[in-house]
Amino acid sequence: MLKGKHNGYDINLYRSPDNNWIGGVCGGIAENINWPVWLVRLVALMLFSVTGILAIIAYIIAVFLLEKREVPLPGRMGSTTRTQGSSPSGHTLKDTVFSYKAEPGSQARDLNKRMQQLDQRLQQMETYVTSRKYQFDQELKRS
Q: Is 110 helix (H, G, I), strand (E, B) or coil?
A: helix
CB 71 within 8 A of CB 82: yes
What is the rounded distance in angstroms from the CA atom of residue 51 to the CA atom of residue 125? 49
pLDDT the model gives residue 8: 62
- CA–CA separation, 140 vs 69, rounded Å? 53
CA distance 34 to 95: 8
Distance, CA of 48 to CA of 86 (rounded, Å): 30
- pLDDT for 117 equals 92
pLDDT below 70 — which residues of the chain? 1-10, 71-104
What is the reported pLDDT for 119? 92
How remote is the C-alpha of 118 from its chain's centroid? 23
Q: Which residue(s) pair with 82 in the sheet? A: 71
Q: How far apart are the C-alpha atoms of 19 and 62, rounded to whole Å? A: 15
- How many CA atoms does the CB half-sphere of 120 hold within 13 Å? 6
**71: helix, coil or strand?**
strand
Per the document, the length of the chain is 143
